Each structure stands twice: as structure tokens, then as C-alpha cells.
């Protein structure tokens, strides 16, 4: 656990970069420090391994005051990943990853073994080990940066906007892999970003910083989105706050209904009754095997029995594990404002309606 106790940091005479910050960062969680540039989030991060010395207050790591620890020892025990990978250009990828173990005096064999493990873990290939950093893409360099930070298996990792400099597609992949890694490793990660979407996606808890190094709110992503405590946080979360909330809730958490379901061959009368019960002018067509065929309006039936292939098809369907944001997207393009939910085996389970989303957001 990392504890900030009334920590302030001043550079020269100006206003403090970090002002009376108190924060508890839980063990084994991914804590995100997010905020506009110049809000003190990076300075706060860098004080943890004493890259910046604090001016006032105390920082405790596992109960020990960091000022009582030799900074070099302290840094060797804390992983650090930075925005530009900061790899050593004159060392091979193998030696870059093995940096801290070498400093700690591990034996060559043990270092090599550890490097080989890490390469797999961060999704690189062993052939890359003997190359130099300049031969790797930006995304690959960041992976090496993560592997280097993990090398000596430190319980704490500090990550300073590690994915800010890579393109959006690679960034998404790196975020997913970080989450996957974290599921296995349970490190205490402090992650700085200015991107609220990134914070919401990866954070267990989020500290929203505002100008002058103060924390405006410290909460879990769902709490933050559901109950922002100040206008600053509302503004920072942006106009799409509700959409972001939907992204955090899965389809299985929302209610669904059967909807007006008919089978191919049913009479037009049966279809009309089903639609009336549901209050719609369309029906869903589900075959005898439970497969959703599509939808048709009553007008299009023209008093004929329900055909097997109908004109209305669904571009997207959702499953229990999808987010409500995906469900909303499916609704928007469905033509009839609903999102069909399918079971894992592809059978029709029910319908999500906008009313179900509204209930989640209220």
C-alpha cells in the first residue's frame, strides 16, 4: 500500500505543483491518476520513487517512510514505465529487460531465464531479444518497457502515460494486455494519464486531479460516473458521461423481455396479437430451433402467414458479457430501437429496450 500524507511539492517560488495531497493507494489494485496537464499527477507519481523529492508531508510504502529508504534501493524495488519507452539504445532488448536484475546482482543464468519468461508475458517474440531498440515499433518498445519494469518482479509499478505516444489501435491492445497481465500478477499499479477513457477502462480506482495538485474526487469508475461530486469532475468526464457509464455495465446487469416473438408459419392474426401485447407494430421471427431470423412489420405481412425469411435483419446482437454501450449501438442501427440478446449458443434470449438502459442510468 502507498499512502500520501499531506504531501506538497513546490518547484521554486510559484504555487505548489502538488498541494496537501492525501491519498491511499490500495495493494494489488490499478489506481489511475488522471487530470488536465499541469495538475500535478505526474509529479505525484514521481515522488513515490523519489524522482522528485517531496517538499512537505510523508509518503509511506508498505508503512515505511520513503525518505528513510535509500533512493537507489527504493527505485530498484519499484517498476517504472514511461511515455517514451526510454529504452537504452546501446543495449539489446535482452539486456534492456535485464537491467534491474543486473543491478541487483543476479546471476547471468537467472537473468536470462527471467528475460525469456517476460518476453512471452508481454507478447514479444524471442527473436527480438538480440535486436536493438531502434529496430522495434513504438508499440513493441512499450512492451519492452513494461517487461523491463517487471523484470525484478517488484510489487509496485509506476506507469507515467505509458501508452500516450502510440497510435490508438496499438494503445487499445496494450491496455487490454495490461489488464490481462494485472489479472495474473496483481501488482499495485499507479497509472498516470490525461485520457479519461483510458482511466475508466483500466482503473480499479481513479483519482481525478485538478489544477494546483489537488484531488477533486477519488472513486471507482462506476461511482465516479454515477455520482461526480463537483462541477469540475462533471466537466472533466465530458458530455458523454452517460455513454461511458453504459460502457461499464454489462448486458447481464440489465433487464430484458421476451418481446413479440412469432415462428415462421404463424398466422397474421397471431402476429398481430403478439405485437399488440407488446405495444409495437412489428414482431420478431424466431424459428423452431430458437434462432432469430429477423423482424417484420405487421403491414409487410399483408395478412399472409409469417414467412421464414423476413426483410428486417439485425446488424448487431448482444450477449450477456457485452456492455450496454454495445447494446445501445445495436439499438441505434436495428431500425426498431431494440437490441436482441442471444445466448452463447446463438439462441434468442430476449430483447433489450431503451427503457432497460434508462433504468440502469437512473
Partner 1 sequence: MSFIRWSWIADNPDLILEKLLQHVELTGFALLFGFMIAFPLALAAIRWPRLYAPSLATTGVLFTVPSLALFILLIPFTGLSMATSLIGLTIYTLLILFRNIVAGLRGVPQEVSEAARAMGYSRSWQLFSVEIPVALPVIVAGIRIAAITTIGLVTVTALIGQGGLGQLFITGFTLHFATPLIVGFVLSVLLAVVVDLVLAGAVWLMTPWRRGRS
Binding site for partner 1 (CB under 8 A): 49, 51, 72-77, 80, 82-92, 99-100, 103, 132-135, 148
Q: Shortest distance, CB of residue 85 to partner 1, whole angstroms?
A: 8
For residue 50, CA distances in Å to 12, 71, 192, 218, 226 come to: 18, 6, 16, 23, 35
For residue 111, CA distances in Å to 97, 102, 158, 210 come to: 9, 7, 22, 42
Q: Shortest distance, CB of residue 5 to partner 1, whole angstroms?
A: 23
| Separation CA 286–CA 295 (nearest Å) | 9
Q: Which is nearer to partner 1, 75 or 171 (CB)?
A: 75
Q: Shortest distance, CB of residue 89 to partner 1, whole angstroms?
A: 6
Task: Check: CB of residue 82 under 8 Å from CB of residue 192.
Answer: no
Which ranges constitute the DSSP H helices of the chain? 41-48, 71-76, 93-97, 99-103, 108-121, 138-150, 168-185, 196-202, 221-226, 231-237, 241-248, 268-278, 298-301, 324-334, 354-361
Task: Check: CB of residue 48 under 8 Å from CB of residue 54.
Answer: no
Q: Which is nearer to partner 1, 38 or 77 (CB)?
A: 77
Q: Which is nearer to partner 1, 151 or 248 (CB)?
A: 151
Q: Shortest distance, CB of residue 51 to partner 1, whole angstroms?
A: 6
Q: Which is nearer to partner 1, 82 or 301 (CB)?
A: 82
Q: Shortest distance, CB of residue 18 to partner 1, whole angstroms?
A: 18
Task: Check: CB of residue 122 under 8 Å from CB of residue 146.
Answer: yes
Q: Which is nearer to partner 1, 63 or 89 (CB)?
A: 89
Amino acid at each position: 500500500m502507498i499512502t500520501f500524507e499531506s504531501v506538497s511539492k513546490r518547484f521554486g517560488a510559484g504555487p505548489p505543483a502538488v498541494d496537501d495531497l492525501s491519498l491511499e493507494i490500495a495493494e494489488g489494485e490499478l489506481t489511475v491518476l488522471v487530470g488536465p496537464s499541469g495538475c500535478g499527477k505526474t509529479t505525484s507519481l514521481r515522488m513515490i520513487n523519489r524522482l522528485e523529492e517531496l517538499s512537505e508531508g510523508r509518503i509511506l510504502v508498505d508503512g515505511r517512510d520513503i525518505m528513510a529508504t535509500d533512493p537507489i534501493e527504493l527505485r530498484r524495488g519499484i517498476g517504472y514505465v514511461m511515455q517514451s519507452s526510454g529504452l537504452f539504445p546501446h543495449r539489446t532488448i535482452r539486456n534492456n529487460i535485464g537491467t534491474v536484475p543486473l543491478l541487483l546482482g543476479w546471476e547471468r543464468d537467472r537473468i536470462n531465464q527471467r528475460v525469456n519468461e517476460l518476453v512471452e508475458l508481454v507478447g514479444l517474440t524471442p527473436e527480438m531479444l538480440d535486436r536493438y531498440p531502434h529496430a522495434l515499433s513504438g508499440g513493441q518498445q512499450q512492451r519492452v518497457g513494461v517487461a523491463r519494469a517487471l523484470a525484478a518482479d517488484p510489487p509496485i509499478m509506476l506507469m507515467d502515460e505509458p501508452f500516450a505516444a502510440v497510435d490508438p489501435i496499438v494503445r487499445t491492445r496494450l491496455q487490454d494486455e495490461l489488464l490481462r497481465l494485472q489479472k495474473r500478477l496483481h501488482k499495485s499499479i499507479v497509472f498516470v494519464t490525461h485520457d479519461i477513457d483510458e482511466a475508466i477502462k483500466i482503473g480499479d480506482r481513479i483519482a481525478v486531479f485538478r489544477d494546483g495538485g489537488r484531488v477533486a474526487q477519488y472513486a471507482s469508475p462506476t461511482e465516479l460516473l454515477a455520482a461526480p461530486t463537483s462541477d469540475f469532475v462533471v466537466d472533466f468526464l465530458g458530455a458523454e458521461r452517460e455513454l461511458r457509464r453504459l460502457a461499464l455495465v454489462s448486458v447481464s446487469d440489465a433487464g430484458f423481455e421476451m418481446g413479440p416473438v412469432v415462428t415462421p408459419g404463424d398466422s397474421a392474426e397471431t402476429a398481430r396479437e403478439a405485437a399488440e401485447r407488446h405495444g409495437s407494430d412489428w414482431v420478431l421471427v424466431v424459428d423452431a430451433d430458437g434462432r432469430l431470423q429477423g423482424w417484420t412489420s405487421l403491414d409487410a405481412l399483408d395478412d399472409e402467414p409469417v414467412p421464414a425469411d423476413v426483410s428486417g435483419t439485425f446488424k448487431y446482437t448482444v450477449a450477456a458479457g457485452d456492455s450496454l454501450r454495445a447494446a445501445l449501438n445495436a439499438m441505434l442501427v436495428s431500425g426498431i430501437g431494440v437490441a436482441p440478446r442471444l445466448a452463447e449458443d446463438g439462441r434468442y434470449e430476449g430483447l433489450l429496450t431503451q427503457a432497460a438502459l434508462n433504468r440502469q442510468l437512473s
